[in-house]
Amino acid sequence: MATIYDYKVKDRKGNEVSLNEYAGKVLLVVNTATGCGFTPHYEPLEAMYKDLRDKGFEILDFPCNQFAGQAPGTEDEIHEFCTLKFGTEFPQFAKIDVNGEEADPLFAWLAAEKPFAGFGKGIKNFSLDKFADMNNKKFGDKAYIKWNFTKFLIDREGKVIARFEPTEDMADVRKAVENAL
């Protein structure tokens, strides 16, 4: 049975990184974008990281430009934006695709482990659902991730235990992380 430790990714400098380096830690894997309405999620993510990293918590940030072109720029430009605007210190990896034929295998696996279950109720969530569907039609059955700032919670054994859509309250995400720790 696969775990997150079976995957390798590229860091923002293009070097291959085995996710086995994070064995034994609780992980939150996030696809991000610097020009999205959910970009302010960086703030509670960084606060969570600062508060919990000494307890064995890591956030793995994967920028993605597949959602309305909201992550333009190079890895260095994205990193500079995140560190200057939000003071992020958690690991940021190379920009990737999370959907389609070129989707990173890690995100295909994450989404297979915890498929999309909806954005929740309310007019804002309904609107995002319609917009995401239009954006993701081009990916067909390989539309694994519906929007920026989808988060996957991984336990210390490398198994996916929860998926949080960007519409999920960040306080609920933090509570789940704390329970996993």
Q: What global pTM score does this model have?
A: 0.93
Query: With 80 as the cut, is the pLDDT of residue 131 above it?
Result: no
4-18: per-residue pLDDT in tens? 999 999 999 999 999
36 as an active site residue: the answer is yes
Question: How far apart are alpha carbons 111 and 113 in whole angstroms?
Answer: 5
| Residue-range domain boundaries for the chain | 30-180
Tell me the residue ranges of DSSP E strands in 103-176: 151-154, 160-164
154: nearest Cα among 68, 25, 31: 25
Q: What is the pLDDT of residues 136-179, one digit of tens each?
A: 777 777 788 998 999 999 999 999 999 999 999 999 999 999 99
In the sheet where 160-164 sits, what is the strand order? 57-63, 26-32, 151-154, 160-164
pLDDT per residue over 50-83, tens digit each? 999 999 999 999 999 998 788 888 888 888 888 8
Q: Does domain 30-180 have CATH number 3.40.50.300?
A: no
Of 36, 48, 52, 143, the catalytic one is 36
Determine how β-strand 16-18 pairs with β-strand 8-10.
Answer: antiparallel
Bridge partners of 58, per DSSP, are: 27
